[in-house]
Amino acid sequence: MKTYSLFIIFLFYFLSLSFPCYAAEKCNPKDKKVLLKIKQDLGNPYHLASWNPDTDCCDWYVVDCDPKTNRINALTVFQANISGQIPAAVGDLPFLETLLFRHITNITGEIPSAIAKLTRLKTVRLSWTNLTGPVPSFFSKLKTLTYLDLSFNQLSGSIPPSLSLLPSLLALHLDRNRLTGTIPESFGAFTGSSPPDLFLSHNQLTGSVPKTLGNMNFTRIDLSRNKLEGDISFLFGKSKALQDADFSRNLFEFDITKLEFPESLSNLDWNHNKLTGNVPVGLTTLDNLQQFNVSYNRLCGQIPVGGNLQSFTYAEYFHNRCLCGAPLPAC
């Protein structure tokens, strides 16, 4: 009897070895094939070592499957030791909502046009890489896009005006590239309910900021370190939503004395421009103003007293034509 039950136990044991408990693979075979192509096109990097054809691709590193459809919906490659171009095969993951290649020094070449096929994309971050070529205008066809970040690359050419057609865009990061030309007029007509946070700093943009941008209610706008010129007073006013605004290191030239500002304003950087007039008295009523900088301009007169204006230091006011009063020396 004892040997009999031992025999049964061993029988089950050996059966379980030869027929392992088999969980059905969730991964869609088409997606798996595409991912293996991507891995191959990237030169089989160590970062993708878990992409083993014998395992379920829904369990692989840096990809996600949608829990309902089991289709690949995210590819997020971050800080990897990978060289080469973004494989065109990414365009064959039709359920992709998030596409991210970030902090990868040796990703070069242009942004592949195959991305235009990914009509479900919500988040695209191709940043801190070494991409070259233009900002593709096909992004304007990806209507569900909420977040487009192409910052910290070497993209050149001008900004595609059609990006304003993205109805759900919450943030547009084109900063730290080599973009030239002007800010498109169309950026005063974003079709969404509120305009995206706009980051265009550290490029080589020229010309005046289109007056149409005054029609938009921006919350965050960073145009710093370009070669933009002229008057941007239309971006300010009591009824705006402005919170963070960086216009530093440009060639803006207008009288700021009478500008008014919303209660919400918390950061305003105007350093290194050609602003004239005096520090606006309207700033003294802003309780939320945390950072302010008007150094290196052509301002003149006594700094208005009140609000947070005296809490900033000498370095936020110095190098003007004849600005005086605390925190600068008395007039």
Ligand X SMILES: *[C@@H]1O[C@H](CO)[C@@H](O)[C@H](O)[C@H]1NC(C)=O
Q: 3-state DSSP call for residue 146? A: coil
Q: Closest separation between CB of residue 104 and ligand X, Å?
A: 7
How far, in Å, CA of 271 to CA of 276, rounded? Answer: 12
Nearer to ligand X, 40 or 105 (CB): 105
How far, in Å, CA of 144 to CA of 167, rounded? Answer: 8
Contact 96, 71 (CB under 8 A): no
Q: Closest separation between CB of residue 270 and ligand X, Å?
A: 9
Residue 199's φ and ψ, nearest 5 degrees, are -120, 105
Q: Are strands 72-78 and 98-102 parallel, antiparallel or unpaired?
A: parallel
Contact 213, 237 (CB under 8 A): no
Q: Closest separation between CB of residue 146 and ligand X, Å?
A: 18
Residue 29: other Cβ atoms inside 10 A: 9
Nearer to ligand X, 55 or 79 (CB): 79
Q: Closest separation between CB of residue 210 and ligand X, Å?
A: 17
Nearer to ligand X, 173 or 272 (CB): 272
Q: Kindly state the tokens that stand for 84.
A: 């080469």
Nearer to ligand X, 70 or 276 (CB): 276
How far, in Å, CA of 170 to CA of 146, rounded? Answer: 5
Nearer to ligand X, 94 or 192 (CB): 192
How far, in Å, CA of 27 to CA of 32, rounded? Answer: 7
Chain contacts with ligand X (rule: CB under 6 A): 81, 83, 105-106, 128, 130, 152, 217, 239-241, 271-272, 293, 295-296, 315-316
Q: Closest separation between CB of residue 272 and ligand X, Å?
A: 6
Q: Closest separation between CB of residue 240 and ligand X, Å?
A: 6
Nearer to ligand X, 18 or 239 (CB): 239
Q: Closest separation between CB of residue 60 and ligand X, Å?
A: 21
Q: Closest separation between CB of residue 293 and ligand X, Å?
A: 4
Nearer to ligand X, 39 or 240 (CB): 240
173: which strand partners? 149, 199
Nearer to ligand X, 105 or 311 (CB): 105
Q: Tell me which residue has tokens 């991964």.
A: 27
User: Which residues, in sequence order, are CB contacts of 231 under 8 Å at separation 6+?
Assistant: 208, 252, 253, 254
Cα dist from 293 to 122, 319, 321, 324, whole Å: 35, 11, 15, 15
